[in-house]
Amino acid sequence: MKQLIFSVLFLFITSLAHGQERDSLKINFPVTKYKLQNGLTVLLYEDHSVPLISYHTWYKVGSRDESPGITGSAHMLEHMMFKGSKKYPGKLFDRILHENGIVNNAFTTYDYTGFYESLPSSKLEMMMEIEVDRMSNLNLNPGDLQSEREVVKEERRWRVDNNPMGLLMETVMGTVFKTSNYRWPVIGTMKDISDYKIETLRNFHSIYYVPNNAVLVLVGDFKIPEAKRLIEKYYGPIASRPLPRREYPREATQDVQRNATVRKDVQGISFTVAYDGVPNAHPDMYALDLAANILGNGSSSRLYKHLVYTKQSATSAYAYDTTMQDQGVFAVGVNLKPHMPMQESLDLVYQEIWKMRNKLVTSEELMKAKTQVMKELVDGLATIDGKARALAVNEIMTGSYENLFKDLDKYNAVTAEQIKDVSNKYLNQNQRSIVVLEPKGKKE
């Protein structure tokens, strides 16, 4: 009988002397990290809380590696990774996973593509053989591309073309970025989706789906020596290949406000005020994250109180600081009630941004924001899959999973002055974009 042993992370909380002061939290758990000779980065963490393994394979390739005319091809390739490989052709991949109690999925972002499975612990070797085969011997048949292309078109209609909020998000990115590769959507344009050639995808696969461009993360019910043996056996023989020089066009400095309007059959206006922000792990990211939190995270945030609670003009208001590998976006979003005009609410957003730039946030607000960040981190580590994702995203975006454990200190070190400074530096009128989604037929 296998016993469930609950993992106690090496995670502790220490209180400061005064009850009123915030407690500091340190998070750490012992991860085994190493590289195979072929360059594959491996992260292993045993967690026997459930008899399952969370298996993540992330490749450092995303939509920023595309070019106009083939936008969305990283995402298309992600779909094609489920269409069969040399040893597991056709539908065998789906069938084997289905028959072995394994669930799986994948995602593509601007910077990376991730594949993940939740598998019973006894299936590790089988899963590894399958993952290795599709890393090195993907079939990529033109016939499969034909039908999967239609699936992706439906995905685009569902996410964007028939989804007003999805269209607003896509327009924000296309407005903020004019020269960098973040200007096109991860899913690609409908025209490009219709035109993909199988050679383009083969080329993408052969360049980027190599061990030296991948991070393998296993968290769960396995023994590290055995996992290492299997990884060497299956991944070891794959040859590394030189990666192309990764040079991406920089975003030109914005010196004038940009405006964009999308008209759809919607009940009320939604608008976003967006700014060119900072890349992931940039020293200013921590203060900007907290600024976004204070402005628009939850019902105690400044924007919610003004727009939803006091003015009652909006159904929701939020702010976010998204950081990609080379660039970032800081944005405030407002969804107005039906028939509510925009200008007054937009002015209120400007006022709040002005306050962030000119006045210090209160110590209570700062403390609250730090607590929210801390709690979000803790909540994200509740499952083996959550731990695997947290390790993978830190490794692939910063080059070291250990930043997961260092970030709390960096957030805790942020001062009210720094929040004011970064607000001044990045939230300028010249650097902003106003993107509006408004009802069709609305009078000008």
Partner 1 sequence: MGKFQMRIILSLLVGVFLAGCIAPGKKTEIVKADKVSAAPVVTTSQFKLRPMREVQLENGLKIIFITDNSLPRVSMTMLVKVGARQDPKGKEGVNGLTSRLLAEGTQSKSATVLADELGNLGTEIGIDPGNDFTIISMDSLSNSAVKLLDLYSDIIMNPAFLDVEVVRTKSQVIAQLQKKIDNPSSFANDAFDEFLYKGHPYANDIMGTPVSIKKIRKQDAIRHYLNNYRPNNAELAVVGRFNKDFEAKVSDIFKKWTEKPIKEFAVRELKPIQGIEVKLVSKPGLQQAQIRIGEYGIRRIDPDFLKLRLANVALGGEFGSRLNQHIRDNLGLTYSIYSYFDSRIDRGPFVISTFTKNDTVGKTVDESLKIFTDFVKKGITEAELKASKEQMMGQFPRAIETADLLAYNILVLNFYGVSLSYLQDFMKNVEALSLSDVNLAIQKHLDAKNLRVLVYADEKKVADQLSKYNLVIEKLK
Q: Give the total of residues touching partner 1 (CB under 8 A).
A: 107
Please select the residue that binds partner 1; options are 80, 176, 186, 285, rule is CB under 8 A: 285
**Nearest residue (CB) to partner 1, 271 versus 286:** 286
Please select the residue that binds partner 1; options are 86, 197, 375, 406, rule is CB under 8 A: 375
CB of 428 to partner 1, least distance (A): 21
Please select the residue that binds partner 1; options are 80, 173, 227, 292, rule is CB under 8 A: 292
Q: Does 30 bind partner 1 (CB under 8 A)?
A: no
Q: Does 157 bind partner 1 (CB under 8 A)?
A: yes
- Contact at 8 Å (CB) between 319 and 332? yes
Please select the residue that binds partner 1; options are 30, 68, 283, 338, rule is CB under 8 A: 338
Nearest CA to 391 out of 403, 383, 374, 375 is that of 403
Alpha carbon 279 to its chain centroid, in Å, reads 13
* Helix segments in 297-342, DSSP class H: 302-303
Which residue stretch of 65-73, 228-236, 350-358, 375-383 sits at the interface with partner 1 (rule: CB under 8 A)? 375-383
Q: Which uninterrupted H or E stretch holds 357?
A: helix 343-358
CB of 236 to partner 1, least distance (A): 28
| C-alpha span between 240 and 237 (Å, rounded) | 9
**Nearest residue (CB) to partner 1, 213 versus 270:** 270
Strand partners, 22: none
CB of 162 to partner 1, least distance (A): 4
- Contact at 8 Å (CB) between 314 and 308? yes
Cα–Cα distance list, 158 to 69, 187, 188 (Å): 22, 11, 13
Please select the residue that binds partner 1; options are 312, 358, 424, 430, rule is CB under 8 A: 312
Strand partners, 321: 330
Q: Does 2 bind partner 1 (CB under 8 A)?
A: yes
Please select the residue that binds partner 1; options are 42, 124, 393, 419, rule is CB under 8 A: 393
| C-alpha span between 427 and 306 (Å, rounded) | 19
Q: Does 353 bind partner 1 (CB under 8 A)?
A: no
Please select the residue that binds partner 1; options are 41, 175, 280, 433, rule is CB under 8 A: 280
Torsion of CA 228, 231, 237, 239, to 10 degrees: -110
Please select the residue that binds partner 1; options are 34, 154, 226, 417, rule is CB under 8 A: 154
Q: Does 305 bind partner 1 (CB under 8 A)?
A: yes
Q: Does 191 bind partner 1 (CB under 8 A)?
A: no
The footprint of partner 1 on residues 51-110 (CB under 8 A) is 51-52, 82, 91, 94-95, 97-104
Residues 6+ apart with CB under 8 A from 203: none
CB of 242 to partner 1, least distance (A): 29
Long-range CB contact pairs, 403-406, < 8 A, 24+: 403/281, 404/27, 405/26, 405/27, 405/28
| C-alpha span between 404 and 373 (Å, rounded) | 12
**Nearest residue (CB) to partner 1, 141 versus 163:** 163
Q: Does 383 bind partner 1 (CB under 8 A)?
A: yes
Q: Does 267 bind partner 1 (CB under 8 A)?
A: yes
Q: Does 113 bind partner 1 (CB under 8 A)?
A: no
Q: Does 399 bind partner 1 (CB under 8 A)?
A: no
Q: What are phi and psi of 126, to 5 degrees?
A: -60, -45
Q: Which uninterrupted H or E stretch holds 344?
A: helix 343-358
CB of 2 to partner 1, least distance (A): 6
Nearest CA to 165 out of 260, 266, 315, 75 is that of 266
Q: Does 139 bind partner 1 (CB under 8 A)?
A: no
**Nearest residue (CB) to partner 1, 153 versus 202:** 153
CB of 62 to partner 1, least distance (A): 15
CB of 426 to partner 1, least distance (A): 14
Q: Does 261 bind partner 1 (CB under 8 A)?
A: no
Q: Does 141 bind partner 1 (CB under 8 A)?
A: no
Which residue stretch of 70-78, 201-209, 303-311, 424-432 sits at the interface with partner 1 (rule: CB under 8 A)? 303-311
Q: What would the DSSP string read from start to end of 200-211?
A: HHHHHHHHHSSG
Nearest CA to 115 out of 397, 401, 389 is that of 389
CB of 38 to partner 1, least distance (A): 27
Q: Does 192 bind partner 1 (CB under 8 A)?
A: no
- Contact at 8 Å (CB) between 314 and 340? yes
Strand partners, 138: 85
- Residue 250, helix vs strand vs coil: coil
**Token reading at 391:** 């390790």
